[in-house]
Amino acid sequence: ILNVEQSPQSLHVQEGDSTNFTCSFPSSNFYALHWYRWETAKSPEALFVMTLNGDEKKKGRISATLNTKEGYSYLYIKGSQPEDSATYLCAFIADSNYQLIWGAGTKLIIKP
């Protein structure tokens, strides 16, 4: 059974601080890793799709890295703002079977 773990489960961060959290996934049969942001009362929004070991992607103050050999990805947020408050989900795809296996998410709360 393929399992995707995200840590921490929740995180309180002071506005202006930087933070990061982890997505762990199986290191074999890797095909792609997705990151999504899900704000309350909205739809999940795609942040990154990562496919290559060593990949680094950036979108504004948010960036992500990927290590497929050891099975983890980090999401970084620089200079947290209140609008960054959301649940951040990662999803792993194995061997092009197109099934996304999702983590349970990291709930990020930014304190003003």
Partner 1 sequence: ETGVTQSPTHLIKTRGQQVTLRCSSQSGHNTVSWYQQALGQGPQFIFQYYREEENGRGNFPPRFSGLQFPNYSSELNVNALELDDSALYLCASSQSPGNEKLFFGSGTQLSVL
Binding site for partner 1 (CB under 8 A): 4, 6, 31-32, 34, 36, 42-46, 49, 51, 89, 91, 93, 96-105
Of 42 and 112, nearer to partner 1 (C-beta) is: 42
Cα angle for residues 107, 7, 79 (degrees, 5° grid): 60
Tell me the torsion sign for CA atoms 15, 20, 22, 27: positive
Question: What is the closest distance, in whole angstroms, from the C-beta atom of residue 80 to partner 1 in the complex?
Answer: 23
Nearer to partner 1, 86 or 89 (CB): 89
The continuous run of DSSP H or E covering 28 comes out as none
DSSP 5-25: EEE-SEEEEETT--EEEEEE-
Q: How far is the CB of 17 from partner 1 (least distance, A)?
A: 26
**How many Å separate Cα 8 from the centre of its chain?**
11
CB closer to partner 1 out of 5 and 15: 5
19-24/100-102 β-pairing: unpaired
Nearest approach in angstroms of CB 15 to partner 1 is 26
Measured from the CB atom, is 2 or 12 closer to partner 1?
Answer: 2
The least distance separating partner 1 from the CB of residue 105, rounded to whole angstroms, comes to: 6
Q: How far apart are CA 103 and CA 4, in angstroms?
A: 5
